[in-house]
Amino acid sequence: MLTIWMDAIFPKRCLVCFSVLSPAENACCHTCLDALPLWPSEQDPEEFANQLFGGRVKIEGLQVHYPFHSPSAIQHLLHAVKYDGNTTLAKELGVRLGRRWTGLLPSETIITPVPLHPFKMKNRGYNQSWHIARGIGNSTHLNCEILLRRTVHTPSQTALSREERWKNMEGIFEIADGVNLVGSTVLLVDDTLTTGATLESCAHTLLKAGVSKVYATAIAYAS
């Protein structure tokens, strides 16, 4: 009863337009979600991967759903996903991102999130990329599994250069216990893509473990 009363007095509002949300909406109204600028659909996933990773690691294809700018609506939404515990929104964004992969991935592809270090996981209480991955799984009907773990805690990389980010991410991931990936196909999931250093490090770890093909994806790209 208290929750109903509080919702009536202080209704939940859209983070973008501040309109009152319907019971079916979470953090952002469907009108604003549908109006978000999209990454060009004509971008070829293989060409995009080659452009970003420049031959440093073999990633078969790369997809993002939104361009990231600051300030912007998608910045507000990803902040809610990453820092405010809005896992429902993370999953909804994942569903939308997953539609980009329809028909492009082998049926045996495993979806896996970029892992958080246990220290950060304990403080935050959740991994936003896991919930995004689950949304992608709902769209693509592919399985989601935890395949990687992070062994080194790194501070925020916001102020680092491209080269510093790559150096900072070298060798900080390993395969989770009891996982056999020989010959498998994996889709790596992150929330936001900047230089690609994190995805590159994860991909190197997966390929060394015998993964046959690695694809990568993120909700937004800060180009």
Q: Could you give the C-alpha distances from 22 to 30, 92, 135, 139, in angstroms and in order?
A: 9, 15, 21, 23
Rounded Cα distance, 116 and 126, in Å: 9
| Residues 24 and 60 placed together within one structural domain of the fold | no
For position 3, what pLDDT does the model report?
A: 46
Domain holding 121: CATH number?
A: 3.40.50
Question: 108-140, pLDDT tens digit by residue?
Answer: 999 999 999 999 999 999 999 999 999 999 999
| Residues 11 and 86 placed together within one structural domain of the fold | no
Query: Is 70 exceeded by the pLDDT of residue 181?
Result: yes
**Mean of per-residue pLDDT scores for the chain:** 91
For position 1, what pLDDT does the model report?
A: 46
| Residues 9 and 84 placed together within one structural domain of the fold | no
Give me the number of domains the chain comprises: 2
Query: Is 90 exceeded by the pLDDT of residue 174?
Result: yes
| Residues 158 and 74 placed together within one structural domain of the fold | yes
**Cβ(201)–Cβ(190) below 8 Å:** no
Q: Report strand pairing: 173-175 vs 148-150.
A: antiparallel
| Residues 120 and 186 placed together within one structural domain of the fold | yes
How much is the average pLDDT of 161-188? 84
Q: Tell me which residue range forms the domain holding 8.
A: 1-35
For position 4, what pLDDT does the model report?
A: 46
Question: 14-67, pLDDT tens digit by residue?
Answer: 999 999 999 989 899 999 999 999 999 999 999 999 999 988 899 999 999 999
pLDDT level of residue 223 (50, 70, 90 thresholds): confident
For position 103, what pLDDT does the model report?
A: 93
| Residues 193 and 108 placed together within one structural domain of the fold | yes
| Residues 94 and 179 placed together within one structural domain of the fold | yes
| Residues 14 and 90 placed together within one structural domain of the fold | no
Query: Is 70 exceeded by the pLDDT of residue 155?
Result: no
| Residues 60 and 27 placed together within one structural domain of the fold | no
| Residues 28 and 46 placed together within one structural domain of the fold | no
More confident residue, 8 or 143: 143
| Residues 57 and 82 placed together within one structural domain of the fold | yes
